Structure 1
Amino acid sequence: MPPKFGTSGLRGLVTELTDTLVHDHIRAFLAACPVGGAVHVGRDLRDSSPRIAETVIAAVRGAGLRAVDCGAVPTPALAMAAMARGAAAVMVTGSHIPADRNGLKFYLPTGEIAKSDEAAILEALRSGGAPDAAEGQLETDPDCAARYVARYVDGFGPQALSGLRIGVYQHSSVARDVLVDIVEGLGATAVPIARSDRFIPVDTEAVDPETRAALAGWAEAHRLDAIISTDGDADRPMVTDAAGAMIPGDVLGPLTARLLDARMVVTPVSSNTLVEAMPGFALRRTRIGSPFVIAGMEAALEADPSARVIGYEANGGFLLGFAAQGPAGAVAPLMTRDAVLPIVAPLAAARAAGRGLAELAADLPPRFTAADRLQEVPSERSMALIESLRESAAARAEFFDTGAGESAIDETDGLRVRFGNGEIVHLRPSGNAPECRLYAEADSAERAQALLAAHLDRLGQRLAG
């Protein structure tokens, strides 16, 4: 499959992300979008990322613009640094997908590119992109990660996590050292775990059974209050309670929104419906992907510039749309998907209440989600199956098995079916990988997992071959 834009930028096989292809896309970005005279460049820890980052920097400088090399940093840290200087940014990352793939995430001086910007980039790609010019300057920003750490330490304070033992599952996350610095800066004891020299494609929405078992083992062996981690480029969080059990991203989101005293929540249709039962929030649902969440947040802010609006996704990525007040200081808006805020805020809230994360989450309305994906499935095949289910109630009745008839369908993004017993099953082709995503929701965690397993098996039977 050739590199293409999905829900999180340009993605493709490393073998197809040639220097020429990367150069041409960067020049198209420079021609199609405002960049503020400079482009900040960051990368994750994949073996292919340094080479691609060098090509990005060369393409920027070759167009006469200043390139700022931020090195290996979390995506939200890069975005924060660039936006603070009124500059654009390009992150070299494949996020959570396997190491044989990589990609580019593009940022304007105002934040993530929109779908309309993607269209403009593709049009500029066809017309030649930005021309050569006298070589631009090269700068480095060695303090990019340190400023990102300060965002959380300043906002939550040096005692926010005092007395806690927090495991940091480091694997190959670009934030693996940043997370240790933040945990220690907030007064907790950081326990680094399982640092890897090879890239591990951690998907925070689809954590495999072996990793779940390892998390539980680490929690017990190290006497931890929680374990934290992120995906490869650190815009999606992973958090467990003291037993090593996962706290889903669409639980972390409402907990974080509550601590920050948000009033408007924007979240995709795939997120847990528990937020609908929580008092104090107005809610907007969107298609899946941060560009759609951002568009919903921007619409809310256009209608009311003082709106206390946040966004989050089922994967846990959190977007802050207003100047919030943390326990110790201000937390500035950051309209891009971030992994650290939905890690720190629930931990700080639990510690302030003298409770564990599991107890904090148990106070929320009892709705539970589970998610996984069928890999190496061409998008066309997934879409064809979903279309056949859309068109036929009989086909849906044959495919879905929840013990109750369907009560409603939602076609906002893929096919989301609600049943008479309140259970939900949602199918969606991935926007950036050859995968078909599956989400399930029920009134117990066990039932959600059972629905997921049963329908994932059915999905495999229908899409195999």
Structure 2
Amino acid sequence: MSLKFGTSGLRGLSVDLNGPAAALYATAFARYLIAAGHARKGDVILVARDFRPSSTAISSIIIGALIRAGFEVRNCGTVPTPALALYALHVRSAALMVTGSHIPADRNGIKFYTPDGEIRKEDEEAISREADALRKDGNLLDETPADAFDIESDVRALFVERNATLLGPNALSKLKIGVYEHSTVARDIFTHVLKHYGAEVVLLGRSDIFVPVDTEAVSFETVTALRAWASEHQLDAIISADGDGDRPLVSDELGNPIRGDLLGLITAEFLGASVAVTPVTSNSGLERRGTVKFIRTRVGSPFVISGMEAERGTDVIIGFEANGGTLTVDPSTVNGTALAPLPTRDSLLPILAALQLRASREQPFSAIVRSFSLPVASSNRLENFSSESSLALMTKLRSGQEALTEFLLPIGIPVEVSDIDGLRVTLSDGSIIHLRPSGNAPEMRCYVEADTEEKCRALLQRGLELLDAWRLSLY
């Protein structure tokens, strides 16, 4: 079975999750909530989903399993993950989000929330133990689907209310903004909030077929479409998100995507944060900005949350990932309005922070991006790169300096290595290449930094070629 916990929740093939496995993990989560004192039988638990084809059936199985486990279930429909998480915190309920996030439609997953927020790695281990115990008793794996009372409108309304006071009245009235709708559950909320702030909105690319959009490694096809739309409609920016709406995508006026780690930095400054927690994959130039103290972690929102909690006591602390999703663990004040903490990835906060910055300056987005003077960075992934291949490669490269130097010889000479998550290697010319197995799918990710666009593109291409050659050498 392909199912396993990755950087954010349970992931695997849709055919593996859509059936007894959905009931298994829902029941395991229910048992964990009760055993850990997070909930009691009879409590309300929330379930939402994204638009991928398998999500409706999986969520119905989960609802049935939770009802049989003794909970009152509420169906939150198709809403962004941060909207579900916000509502769950508001009503002090546990929640499950059926989503594969940015990965293809043949895969899916579940994100789990206790009444205190997104689960941690130790929670994942406890849920896995409950699931292992349940596998021994097939009678408990009833996959009969069920429905529950629908509260989707309430969940949407609370999320809109949260974001409708972050900026001043008509703050975006001078901007013409495209919304790349595709199949993200955030699309209608994005449009509503932008119009609330007076923006002229152009709707783009709505799809009834699920489109996997990875905001950390934006595909060539997506960039081509963004550039065409930006030119055709003379847009100031285009915004979008991944499938479950917790990773933002913002492009400049030319349709070029803005890096998620820069969106995180913009959000940190927007909130007046004194500390930001971000994974090692985020741009190495963030620290040089000097406005925020940075703490680096492994990749994955649970690690970012743990890092944020360790820094509590600071006036304002923010977390963000290289995909742009931002997290907060303490209340803050924005434009005189209290902003409740949301300790899970949010896409709308960084989008609004970036658009506010654009609206406040008489400059196009591309010039604003250049003004931050971050190293040129890019990333991409090789799909269908098995976990066995990834493990073999990482084992080889960690076996000693000689093995690493030999592998990277066509690219450059390694002079410094970080082993926090994957291998992040600084080369003799100052450029960086970071090789890391994905925690969500059978993919190998490659992140690079260089001092020019040309060098960055060449380094990324060469890094992907080396990875592909390694994969082929195993067969």
> What is the TM-score normalised by the length of structure 1?
0.95
CA–CA distance in 1 between the matches of 2:181 and 2:192? 12
Deviations 1:372-398 (A, max 9, x none): 001011112112112211213222223
Q: Name 1:107's counterpart in structure 2.
A: 113
| Equivalent AA in structure 1 for residue 371 of structure 2 | D
1:209-220 mapped onto 2 (5 Å cutoff) = 209-220=220-231
In structure 1, the residue matched to 2:149 is 139
Opposite residue 450 of structure 2, the aligned amino acid is A
The equivalent of 1:368 in structure 2 is 376
> Is the 8 Å Cα contact of residues 49 and 92 (structure 1) preserved in structure 2?
yes
Q: Which of 263, 267, 288 does residue 256 from structure 1 map onto?
A: 267
Deviation at 1:433, TM superposition (A): 0.5
- C-alpha displacement at 1:259, in angstroms? 1.2
Match of 1:152 in 2: 163
Letter in 2 for 1:126: D
Q: How does 1:392-431 map to 2 (within 5 A)?
A: 392-401=400-409, 404-431=412-439
Q: Structure 2 counterpart of 1:288, which letter? A: V
Alignment-derived partner of residue 382 in structure 1: 390
Is 2:54 the counterpart of 1:58? Answer: no
Decide whether the 8 Å contact of 1:61 with 1:138 is kept in 2: no
Moved over 6 A (4+): 129-132
1:197-208 correspondence runs (5 A):
197-208=208-219
Separation in 1 of the partners of 2:350 and 2:178? 16
SS of alignment partner, residue 335 of structure 1 = coil
Q: Secondary structure at the match of 2:345?
A: strand
Mapped partners of 1:240, 1:172: distance in 2: 18
The letter of the residue matching 1:437 is R
| Worse overlay, 345-354 or 230-239 | 345-354
For the Cα contact (< 8 Å) 2:301–2:321, is it kept in 1? yes
Aligned to 1:122: 128
- Please name the residue that 1:17 is paired with: 17
Q: Partner of 1:336: helix, strand, or coil?
A: coil
Q: Any idea what the Cα deviations from partners look like across 1:256-302, whole Å, max 9, x if unmatched? A: 1011100001000110012110113221110000000000001111x
Bigger mean CA offset, 70-79 vs 152-161: 152-161
Separation of aligned partners in 2, 1:159 and 1:138 = 39
Deviating more after overlay: 13-22 vs 106-115? 13-22
Deviating more after overlay: 285-294 vs 306-315: 306-315
* C-alpha distance in structure 1 between counterparts of 2:147 and 2:244, whole Å: 26
Task: Give the alignment of 1:230-269 within 5 angstroms.
Answer: 230-269=241-280
Q: Which amino acid aligns with 1:108?
A: T
Quick one: which amino acid aligns to residue 175 of structure 1? A
Give the drift of 1:245. Answer: 0.9
Query: Retained in 1: the 8 A contact 2:246–2:346?
Result: yes
Structure 2 Cα separation of the partners of residues 137 and 51 of structure 1: 10
Q: Say whether residues 1:186 and 2:197 are aligned partners.
A: yes
Match of 1:69? 75
Aligned 8 A contact 2:332 2:338 in 1 = yes
Alignment check: 8 A CA contact 1:346 1:357 kept: no
User: Aligned letter for 1:336?
Assistant: T
Out of 284, 290, 295, the position equivalent to 2:301 is 290
Give matches, 1:426-445, under 5 Å: 426-445=434-453
Matched residue SS, 2:173: coil
Q: Is the 8 A contact 2:75 2:147 kept in 1?
A: no
CA deviation map 1:399-457 (0-9, x unaligned): 22586532210111011111232211001111110001110011223322221111101
2:330 to 322, 326, 332: 322
Contact 1:265 1:282 in 2 (8 A): yes
Q: Is the Cα contact below 8 Å between 1:91 and 1:106 reproduced in 2?
A: yes
Partner of 2:286, secondary structure, is helix
Deviation at 1:124, TM superposition (A): 1.1
Cα distance change, pair 442–186 in 1 and its aligned pair in 2 (3 A): same
Once residues 420 and 35 of structure 1 are traced to their aligned partners in structure 2, the CA distance between those partners, rounded to angstroms, is 54
Question: Residue type matched to 2:3 in 1?
Answer: P
Q: Please say if residues 239 and 250 of structure 2, whose CA atoms lie closer than 8 Å, have aligned partners that are also in contact.
A: yes
Q: How many residues of Structure 1 are paired with residues of Structure 2 in the alignment?
A: 460
1:115-156 deviation per Cα after TM superposition (whole angstroms, max 9, x unaligned): 100111111112239989xxx994321221122122111121
1:253 counterpart letter in structure 2: G
Per mean C-alpha deviation after superposition, the further-off stretch among 322-331 and 196-205 is: 322-331
Tell me which amino acid in the other structure corresponds to 2:212.
P
Q: Which amino acid aligns with 1:32?
A: Y
1:202-253 deviations in whole A, cap 9, x for unaligned? 1111112122111111001011000000000011111101111110101111
Question: What per-residue deviation string (whole Å, max 9, x for no partner) do you get for residues 323-372 of structure 1?
Answer: 22323623221110111111110110221233322222212133121110
Query: Which one is further off, 454-463 or 317-326?
Result: 317-326
CA RMSD of aligned residues (A): 2.0
- TM-score normalized by the length of structure 2: 0.93
Distance 2:111 2:208 in 1: 24
1:27-83 CA distances to partner (integer Å, 9 max, x unpaired)?
111111324622111100011111111111111111111111110000000000011
For 1:455, the equivalent position in structure 2 comes to 463
Distance 1:117 1:67 in 2: 21
Percent of counterpart pairs with the same letter?
45
Deviation (angstroms), 1:318: 0.7
**1:170-214 C-alpha deviation (Å, 9 max, x unpaired):** 111111111111111121011110111100111111112122111
One-letter code aligned to 1:370: S
For structure 2, list consecutive stretches of 5 or more residues without a partner in the other structure: none
Worse overlay, 205-214 or 392-401: 392-401
Corresponding position: 1:95 with 2:101:
yes
CA contact (8 A) 1:402 1:423 kept: no
